[in-house]
Amino acid sequence: MAEWLDKVENVYFEGRIKVPYKWYVGEVGSRFLVALRDKKELWGTKCPKCNKVYVPPQKNCGECFVPADTWVQVKDTGTLESFTVVNYSHSMQPDKPPLMYGLIKLDGADGSMLHLIGGAAPKDLKVGMRVKAVFREKREGNILDISHFAPE
């Protein structure tokens, strides 16, 4: 065996996968996003069995496994159920850290919606605080048409 084969220089191969996707949002999700974009309105779907109102809407109630086929408008205000302040930075984040996230129980909805929190200092965030959606000026029909939720 050649002598140089005994010594290993570790070699790394750098790869990067970039595969474009285009997801059909679905009829239910499309209605939700169009209302957000064109009317700054938040709509959910209601399960006829357990009466839960899902926002973002679901076509079916996962719990009851029946179509959640009634549309219900909910308020753009709600209560902060949990929050975090993220101090690290990665390319998938929509903004620079510190980034504040919240689980927001919208008035009229069940469960809560995950979104960004803004317009407040991290130290002022509290579970139970009231927040209100802040819409972007230029809206494109995606979840970031709500820029963030700010203290009411």
Chain positions contacting other proteins, by CB under 8 A: 10, 15, 17, 21, 23, 25, 29, 54, 56, 58, 62-63, 81-88, 90-95, 99, 101-103, 111-116, 122, 127, 142-144
- Of the pair 72, 144, the CB lying nearest other proteins is at 144
Dist. CA 91–CA 83, nearest whole Å = 21
- Of the pair 25, 150, the CB lying nearest other proteins is at 25
User: How many CB atoms within 10 Å of residue 92?
Assistant: 4
Q: Which two tokens stand for residue 66?
A: 């029946």
DSSP state of 38: H
Look at strands 42-46 and 53-54 and give their pairing.
Answer: antiparallel
Minimum separation from the CB atom of position 65 to other proteins (A): 12
Minimum separation from the CB atom of position 24 to other proteins (A): 9
Minimum separation from the CB atom of position 39 to other proteins (A): 18
Minimum separation from the CB atom of position 23 to other proteins (A): 6
- Of the pair 39, 126, the CB lying nearest other proteins is at 126
Look-up of token digits 């000026």: 137
Exposure string over 32-42, b if 16+ CB within 10 A, otherwise e: bbebbbeeeeb
